[in-house]
Amino acid sequence: MNEISAVRARGDQHRYRKAKSTFVAGLCILCGVLVVTPLALVFGYLVIQGASSVNLDFFTQLPKPTGEVGGGMANAIVGTFTLLALASLIGVPLGIFGAVYLAEYGNSRVNWWLRFSSDILNGVPSIIWGIVIYGIMVVPMKGYSAWAGGVALGCLMVPIILRTTEEVLLLVPQSYREAALALGIAKWKVISQIVIKTARKGIITALLLAFARVAGETAPLLFTALGNSFWNRNLSQPISALPLQIFSFATSAFDDYHRQAWAGALVLVSFVFLLNITVRFLTRKGA
């Protein structure tokens, strides 16, 4: 009896095999549900705990001194956006120009090293960035500052933007580059006017993902931006950020601070959520 007829002869095991198949499919569905559950639980719990405290004061008021009830996180919200803006000064140009180099210019050996180091950087724990920036900026400048916080977040953004942008640039068909070059258009114009424009949705997606990734970072800010109970009027001074404010309120002993930490967490998660939904929306319509 050859192999095939042996397999055919096992026809009587049909029910057993069907049960096995159902079991494996069930296991996969269960794991799928287990992946989604924490997100639903976290978000649901944040809504329950924080929604009642998300009010106008939260967005417009400074934190009240310890012991006083009320106040908000206006400075932390503005601080987060300030830090993101500073971070993009580093992350966006380095990431995009690096990706253009990888996709359009680099030779394979240099590219291999660039990708390798970028992937290593991507895996560096964010607190390491905080300590590094503390050493090279905070100590020499003799103080925590928004600049240092922005640089720390910017360093985190570079490898994310670099690799994602490189991928979308490589997705642009070679035939568009050829068509443009055959018109006698200079290479840098082909890249800036044809390739990047064709890939622009993908690049925006890469940027949003990077923002979403670093917006909630706390560790690198602890050593750099430090946090601030007041408005930051000078980027050389410490600045508040939502994750820092949540951290400091959540670890305090006052109920009203806890209430606001929940609200802050809800706002931060909603912001990241919104960024991700925007990304979904952009990618759904094709790059």
Partner 1 sequence: MNSAQPATRPAQSNVMAVSPSPASPPVPAFEASKVCVWYGTKQALFEIDLTVRKREITAIIGPSGCGKSTFLRCLNRMHELVPSARMEGKITLFGEDLYGATVDPAIVRRRVGMVFQKSNPFPTMSIGENVIAGLRLNGIRDRAFLNEQMERSLRLAALWDEVKNELHRPGVSLSGGQQQRLCIARAVAMEPEVLLMDEPCSALDPMATAKIEELMQELKKNFTIVIVTHNMQQATRCSDQTAFFYMGKLIEMDSTAKIFSNPGQKQTEDYITGRFG
The binding site for partner 1 (CB under 8 A) comprises 107, 173, 175-186, 189-190, 193-194, 197-198, 200
Q: Which residues pair with 71 in a beta bridge?
A: 63
Distance between CA 86 and CA 251 in Å, rounded?
27
Residue 267 CA to its chain's centroid (Å): 16
Closer CB to partner 1, 11 or 184, in the complex: 184
Closer CB to partner 1, 5 or 175, in the complex: 175
Tokens at 203, concatenated: 């690049």
Closer CB to partner 1, 11 or 286, in the complex: 286
CB of 168 to partner 1, least distance (A): 14
Distance between CA 287 and CA 229 in Å, rounded?
42
Task: Confirm if 58 and 267 have CB atoms less than 8 A apart.
Answer: yes
Closer CB to partner 1, 62 or 185, in the complex: 185
Distance between CA 13 and CA 7 in Å, rounded?
10
- Residue 36, burial from CB neighbour count under 10 angstroms (0-12, 13-18, 19+): exposed
Closer CB to partner 1, 96 or 194, in the complex: 194
- Residue 251, burial from CB neighbour count under 10 angstroms (0-12, 13-18, 19+): exposed
The DSSP letter of residue 277 is: H
CB of 177 to partner 1, least distance (A): 8
Distance between CA 79 and CA 115 in Å, rounded?
32
The DSSP letter of residue 52 is: G
Closer CB to partner 1, 54 or 190, in the complex: 190
CB of 187 to partner 1, least distance (A): 8
CB of 100 to partner 1, least distance (A): 17
CB of 198 to partner 1, least distance (A): 6
CB of 182 to partner 1, least distance (A): 4
